Structure 1
Amino acid sequence: MKRLKLISLLSAWLLGISYASAQQVLTLEQCRQMALEHNQKVLIADEHVEAASALKRSAKTQFLPSISANGLYTRTNKKFSLLENDLMLPVVPWTAIDPTTGGLNNTILSPTLPDGSPNPNFDPTVFGNTFAINPSTGQPYTDAEGNPVFQQYSWIPKEKAEIGEKNIYMAGISLTQPIFTGGKIRETYRIAKYGENLARAQSDAERTEVLYKTEESYWRVAAVNEKVKLVEAYIKLLDKLNTDLENYYAEGIIIKNDLLKVKVKKNEAELNLLKAKNGLTLAKMALCQQIGLPLATEIIIADSLPALMEPIAQANYVDSALALRPEIEALNQTINIAKSGVNIMKSRYMPNIGLTANYMFFNPNPYNGLTKEFGGDWSVGVAINVPIFHWNDRGHTLKAARSEQRVAELKMEEAKELISLQVQQAIFKLNESIKKVEMAQENLKQADENLKVTRDAFETGRQKTSDLLEAQAMWQSAYSELIDARMEYRLNMVNLKRVTGGLK
């Protein structure tokens, strides 16, 4: 039997060690850190910050030149024809060409002048082989319009004057550098930068909210845990009273009804203990959900509700809130974005100037008789676009942008008023909770003294059992109110930090 008892004690001890090791002890700072690392809203806000940062880097690249490669392949059905019909071109000496016009010089080619008289500039010995000469007159033959008929002609068939290929290739590299856009690129970059700041402010707001809910859940666990201990202490008082009453009853000092009164109170206390333990389990599950642990995780919080209240520092809480609240920072960035939007709408009235540089390759090669080979050349240019008139489209969009800026400014004014009201409410609630704690402490002190006096009187037979039960119930109620007051104070302290932007 001794051996069995030793084994049982050892097993119980080992089981207790394993259960304690399975439980996870968490401090408030650990819970805060775990909540920030596992909360989905915080993770989403962080991704929004990363996306905004990437957009800002993208907007910055608009200041730099863009380089692109282009390619084109085209298959055509027909070639280009330079001639409508076959051509017969006269063969003349080069001296017959007028250098100023590139055409025939009629002043020396025609044997007669317009009035019919002989042309002194016409030299039959030079141009005799150029024209077909009438032997009887010694003058060139003429056509129906009176133009001299040339002796030799060059025939150019229509099909020999066709150019182009069925397969056309083109490739090139282009560079475009904006020079002046009226400030569009600059304001676009600013909007992206303000967007990143806005995302960071929204992320800070999410973090503040998560920290507030985490601390709220943490202190609720602490409060419910103390209430469980309170009910257990109350049950111990009832057990001691029940033991004393059973002895009194055995001696015939009291009647059985006094024992029944204690048992009724104990049954009520055990039911309250069950409710308190269930509430503690739910509070721990809520905390586990907040910090990213499985709901069934056994946790123990390392802190308890403070018995002493922290002094409230004298400060201008409203100014602190307006300077530190992430909501104000977010609205500031919204106003900046709206202002940049107005500047972009103004830039639509201004010209756009850009520099272009290209190097193009062609096949057939237009630089070498359209041969079937690649030929290339470079080009540099400046492009400018000046808006003139489009039915006041720019005026309407500018008006809309200014209205958006005004809306953002009005939202800022409204937010400042609401935040000032929140801060004042938080201060009032904190002061009220301080007063409640002081009153609850005084009530508990009186209830404790009343319980002591009543117990002494009961033991000497000067108080009834019901009086002692009532004193114990009053003590439990006073203690429970003190726990509630301390928790309310702690939550109001956290809320003041939240509304003033100091919860980090």
Structure 2
Amino acid sequence: MKKAFIYLLFAAFAFPAEAQTLTLDECRAAALEHNRTLRNSRFDLEAALQTRREAFTNYFPQVSATGGVFQAQHGLVQADFGMTVPQLGTMNLPLSMVKRGLVGGITAVQPLFAGLKIVNSNKLARLGEEVGQLQLRKTEAEVLEQTDTYYWQIVSLRDNLSIIGAVERQLEEIHRQVKLSVRAGLVTSNDLLRVELRQQEIASNRLKVENGLKVSKMLLAQHIGVDWRGFDVGDSTLGEPEAPGTFYVSVEEALDRRAEYQLAEKNVEAQKYQKRMERGKRLPTVGVGAGYLYYNVADKDVDDGLVFAQVSVPISDWWGGAHALKKARIRERQAENDRQQAREMLAVEVERTWSEVVEAYAQIELMRRSVASATENLRQNRNFYQAGTAPLTDLLDAETLYTQSRNNFTSACAAYRTSLARYMRVTGR
């Protein structure tokens, strides 16, 4: 048994499980299937469906059954029975009855009119299900946007690591040249120390980027519901971003697609139903019913059927009903005001996000020019240094500018990808 366990343990370390590598589309699909926030939203929708089905049962007859048994210390019916006996005259005899008994019955009442409360409650429950569907759609859009953000953050950090690797190789070559110059007595050891300090700075940056990459992978893995220990993204690159013009839609079209605006409209509709429900509480209710009654209170079984009609008028509720109805009207106007405000604020959000997309795309072109300039600057300073016409500090400064420009270009590309994902969400796509 121990040998078998050792063999299994050896196999686990000798042949580790292959890492799960996912593309962006696969990450998005996994998020839609496994994300816990999205799963809770589906649970809310299922609960709303059950609420609608529960409200529909109010159309059915209300059936109730009762039963009981009692044992009294004395008879519940106490009386004196007058009796005349010849030669004895009139006598009062005590009479005690109904000391124990058994009662039971069942009734079914079918509502005919309930002030439209049943109808409106069913409409309100159906509206709640529609709200649940819109909330699910809204959550799906937010989950997909966050998936894209995490994904492009990982790609950006990977690109930063490749830049650091290139810089490390450049510094190694500079260090080799400076070391030879120090040995030849052409430069002092201070130049060598400057290069080593820069190498240590780059090593520190590598450590920060590697830790950030690990955390970003963990966040994305948790977000899409996979195990982060064996998870990685595909060999994706930021690539050549597509111009944003193909993604533009008008504000009015975007607003009609937004789940948030549709939710505001549903809130107005819900307040109308609430107002009708409040009005229905002050109307009479009418119902018909049938029942069966059984009792045995005098050692005699008695059962009987009955039919009945009932009318209930909530007279005392009229006193405060006018104020409650006015409050419901106020809530309806408030919901309409919220809808108008939501439309205006969503329009601002759409326009602002589009401006961010355009700005992010323009930043890419600016950073691309910076990379070209920094690359040429580094090349010239390397040649000048090798020719002995420029100091080492100029070469290190040029290398620093090159690194910054490359990192800025990567950040600009990632920012454009994430801003574009945000724009797709705020336009309801």
TM-score category by the smaller chain? 0.7 to 0.9
SS of the equivalent of 1:85 reads: strand
Q: Which residue of 2 aligns with 1:451?
A: 378
Residues 298 and 18 (structure 1 numbering): CA distance in 2 closer, same or farther, change over 3 Å?
A: farther
Question: Is structure 2 residue 51 aligned with structure 1 residue 55?
Answer: yes
Using the TM superposition, give the Cα deviation of residue 252 of structure 1 relative to its aligned residue in structure 2, in angstroms.
5.4
1:341 maps to 2:274: yes
The Cα of 1:446 is off from its aligned counterpart by: 1.9
C-alpha contact 1:342 1:398 (8 A) present in aligned 2: yes
Question: C-alpha distance in 2, partners of 1:473/1:69?
Answer: 86
Q: Are positions 1:203 and 2:136 aligned together? A: yes
Superposed CA deviations along residues 422-448 of structure 1, whole A, max 9, x for unmatched, are 111101111111110010011112222
Out of 145, 150, 175, the residue aligned to residue 242 of structure 1 is 175
SS state of the match for residue 86, structure 1? strand
CA contact (8 A) 2:62 2:108 kept: yes
Q: Secondary structure in 2 aligned to 1:263?
A: helix
Specify the code of the residue in structure 1 equivalent to 2:201.
Answer: E
Among 72, 83, 87, the alignment partner of 1:86 is 83
In 2 relative to 1, CA 156–188 (structure 1 residues): closer, same or farther, beyond 3 Å? farther
Q: Is the 8 A contact 1:223 1:483 kept in 2?
A: yes
1:271 aligns with 2:204: yes
Q: Which residue of 2 aligns with 1:307?
A: 240
**Structure 1 segment 120-159 matched on structure 2, within 5 A:** none
Corresponding position of 1:68: 64
**Highest CA radius of gyration, 1 or 2?**
1
Aligned CA distance change for structure 1 residues 308 and 83 (closer, same or farther; 3 Å): same
- Between Structure 1 and Structure 2, how many residues are aligned? 416
Residue identity in the other structure for 2:307: V
Offset at 1:264?
Answer: 2.6
Aligned equivalent of 2:148, options 212, 215, 223: 215
C-alpha change, 1:87 and 1:320, in structure 2 (3 Å) is: farther
CA offset digits 1:150-190 (Å, max 9, x no partner): xx9xx998659x68532222222211100011201011111
- Are the aligned partners of 1:25 and 1:299 in contact in 2 as well (CA < 8 Å)? yes
User: What amino acid maps onto 1:232 in structure 2?
Assistant: G
- TM-score norm. by structure 2 comes to 0.86
2:313 to 377, 382, 386: 386
Per the TM alignment, residue 460 of structure 1 is displaced from its structure 2 partner at its CA by 4.2
Please tell me whether residue 441 in structure 1 is matched to residue 368 in structure 2.
yes
2:219 counterpart of 1:286 = yes
Q: 5+ unaligned residues in a row in structure 2: which ranges? A: 1-10
- Give 1:379's aligned amino acid: L
Q: 1:332 aligns with which of 265, 270, 289?
A: 265
Output aligned runs, 1:223-234, within 5 Å: 223-234=156-167
**Match of residue 6 from structure 2:** none
> What fraction of aligned residue pairs are identical, expressed as a percent?
26
1:194/1:334 contact within 8 Å kept: no
User: Counterparts of 1:167 and 1:338 in 2: how far apart (Å)?
Assistant: 54
Deviation of 1:501 (Å) = 2.1
Q: Counterpart of 2:242 in structure 1: which amino acid?
A: M
Q: Find the aligned partners of 2:91 and 2:161 in 1 and give their Cα distance.
A: 113
Aligned to 2:395: 468
TM-superposed deviation, 1:27: 2.0
- The 2-side partners of 1:233 and 1:454 are apart by 17
Structure 1: how far apart are the matches of 2:70 and 2:290? 24
TM-score normalized with structure 1 length: 0.74
Q: Which one of the candidate residues 335, 352, 356 is aligned to 1:425?
A: 352
- For the 8 Å contact 1:81–1:159, the answer to whether it is kept is no
Give the Cα–Cα distance (whole angstroms) in 2 for the partners of residues 17 and 313 of structure 1. Answer: 50
Aligned pair 1:31/2:27, yes or no?
yes
Shift of 1:29: 2.9
Contact 1:350 1:386 in 2 (8 A): yes
> CA 1:176 to 1:452, structure 2 compared with 1: closer, same or farther past 3 Å?
same
- Asked if the contact 2:282/2:318 (under 8 Å) is kept, the reply is no
1:47 corresponds to which letter in structure 2? F
1:290–1:315 Cα change, 3 Å: closer
CA contact (8 A) 2:381 2:398 kept: yes
In structure 2, distance between residues paired with 1:189 and 1:396: 25
Q: Indicate conservation of the 8 Å contact 2:244/2:357, yes or no.
A: no
For 1:477, the aligned partner's letter is Q
- Distance in structure 2 (CA, Å) of the matches to 1:156 and 1:363: 33
Shift, 1:497, TM fit: 1.4
Q: 1:239 Cα deviation (Å)?
A: 1.0
| Distance in 2 (alpha carbons) for counterparts of 1:407 and 1:199 | 22
- Conserved? CA contact 2:221–2:228, under 8 Å: yes
SS of the residue corresponding to residue 303 of structure 1 reads coil
Distance 2:115 2:57 in 1: 17
3-state SS in 2 of match to 1:392: helix
Root-mean-square deviation (Å): 3.1
Q: Deviations over 1:387-407 (max 9, x none)?
A: 445562211111111122122
Counterpart secondary structure, 1:349: coil
Contact 1:317–1:423 at 8 Å: present in 2 too?
A: no
